[in-house]
Amino acid sequence: MGQPVREYLLTLCVTAAVTYLLTGPVRKFAIAAGAVPEIRARDVHREPTPRLGGIAMFGGLCAGLLVAGHLTNLKSVFETNEPRALLSGAALIWILGVLDDKWGVDALVKLGGQMIAAGVMVLQGLTILYLPVPGIGTVALTPMQGTLLTVALVVITINAVNFVDGLDGLASGMVCIAAAAFFMYTYRLWFGYGIEAAAPATLFSVVLMGMCLGFLPHNMHPARIFMGDSGSMLIGLVMAAGAVSLTGQVDPDLLNQKAGGLREATHAMVPVYIPLLLPLTIIAVPVADLILAIVRRTWKGQSPFAADRGHLHHRLLEIGHSHSRAVLIMYFWSALIAFGAVAYSANDASMWIVLGIVLLSAVGLVLLLLPRFTPRAPMWAQRLVPPRYRRVVREPLSATAAAGEDAVDGAVDEERRTPIPAGIHGATAIGDRSRFVDRRRAGSHH
């Protein structure tokens, strides 16, 4: 059991390291290539920021699959066509995203490209073969039905991730959380129940985690580079590929036979339907945002692809949450839904799991209703927390000194909306602001 874990950890580390190391050079290339678009009305960032981060993420994907193909317990996955199918579809969607980040691509053209990428994966065997239907059992799908369902799932997942990519670190963090929950479930199926058909989905989730973890340090607020459509569509397709592989290849009857003896009554059927429900739960927040956006735009007589500032993360900012807090709240809800579904499928004490989810949901609602509340760490933990959560103790100043300090130190902490004394967190007249000036100059030349 330990050897597969080490191999997955190695694959994760290689993918994350390659993505992280490539992101810096990719940022310089994006600036040189002029992939630094002007700020749009619906954007929340203040400075022009380069895109094309998906180039580094695609490099991490290739590196992770290459390493996994030479490991003892993982190379058996490459005896099937699924990794090849994933790489083919990912390459197509990545090229489409790069073209969109640099020159812009019409929404209908992007939709057609997404469908083509999904079709390429279907042609190479990555498709849904049958579905567990409550009250009926396992229903085999015709090739046409399987193709249409697979393409629909891939396109919905890609666009759900693309829609939620509106704040620094939001899409990559949410997808990483979903991939971690997905890995826990698929790993248990493979090495816990001995269902080898879950192996490709397990590998895809590990590589996806590495891609997101490697890119996050560059993309956290304030982001130095955006993943762009080349990144958001790529990680959406990888997530969809794992969901299709698990839902379409794992035999529900075999799963029920393996796990049924461990449960009683209706809970014995939970593992049968989780492969169908889990892919929906891990993208529940992005899909909810996607559905609300389509309803909102069509209600106003607009195109469903028309951009606006009505997404969930925009609404969190409007009610008073800071950028970082809005991202963390979205992380919280994604983790609650994804890991809650996995815990319910794996634990016999399901009622306690449900009660825990309800209590955590109440905590999440309280956080939503307290946008102005900023926690403060105790004095003994000041050095262990980010600067914005530290207590700032200021010496009383004379009137002359206070006037001089106010004239020099005009920095304002965006998280607390209060003045920061000079020398703390780099908030001097030539501190953080100079970094943004340099970034603006870098973008203005292109």
Question: CA 180, CA 297: separation in Å to the nearest integer?
Answer: 33
Lowest mean pLDDT among 14-18, 63-67, 225-229, 418-422: 418-422
**C-beta of residue 353 within 8 angstroms of C-beta of residue 341:** no
The answer for residues whose C-beta is within 8 angstroms of residue 276's C-beta and 6 or more apart is 131, 132, 247
Instruction: Give the helix ranges, DSSP H, for 69-135.
Output: 82-102, 107-123
Instruction: Give the helix ranges, DSSP H, for 370-429.
Output: 399-408
**C-beta of residue 238 within 8 angstroms of C-beta of residue 142:** no
**Quick one: pLDDT at residue 92?**
96
List pLDDT tens digits, range 16-55. 999 999 999 999 999 998 888 767 555 555 677 888 999 9
Mean pLDDT of 109-125: 95
Model confidence, pTM: 0.75
**Quick one: pLDDT at residue 406?**
47
Identify the band that residue 232 occupies on the pLDDT scale cut at 50, 70 and 90: very high
Q: How far is CA 267 from the centre of its chain?
A: 30
376 φψ region: left (φ > 0), alpha (ψ -120 to 50), beta (else): beta
Give the chain's largest Cα–Cα span: 82
List pLDDT tens digits, range 402-437. 455 444 444 444 444 444 444 333 333 333 434 444
